[in-house]
Amino acid sequence: MFATHCASCHGSDGRALTPLARKLGIMDLAESKLSDLELRKHILEGRLDTNLRPKMPAFSGKLNREQVYYLIEEVKAFRKK
C-alpha cells in the first residue's frame, strides 16, 4: 500500500530523500509525531503548501477504511526504525 501510494514522495524508507520530496519539502516520516487522527486527516484530505497549492494528494474516496488504517500503521512503523 505505502509503496503504491506514498513511496514516490516519501521514499521507500519514509525518510523523504527523493528528488520530489526535496523539491516539495515533504515530511520525513521517521520524524513525524502526528497522532493517528492527524495522520488519517492528512491521508484523506491531503495537504496544501503555504500558497494553498496541493502538496499531498487526498485519498478520500480512493482508499477504504482498512487501507487508511494500514497506512497509518505503516507510517508509524517508520518511527521505530
Mean pLDDT of the residues in the chain:
92
Angle, in degrees to the nearest 10, between helices 36-45 and 65-77: 120
| Per-residue confidence (pLDDT) for residue 37, from 0 to 100 | 97
CA pair distance 14, 76, nearest whole angstrom: 10
| Per-residue confidence (pLDDT) for residue 28, from 0 to 100 | 93
**Residue 69: which of 59, 80, 57 has the closest Cα?**
59
List, for the chain, all residue ranges whose pLDDT scores fall below the cut of 50: none
AA identity, residue 54: P
Tell me the pLDDT tens digit for each residue of 37-52: 999 999 999 998 888 8
Q: Model's pTM, two decimal places? A: 0.87
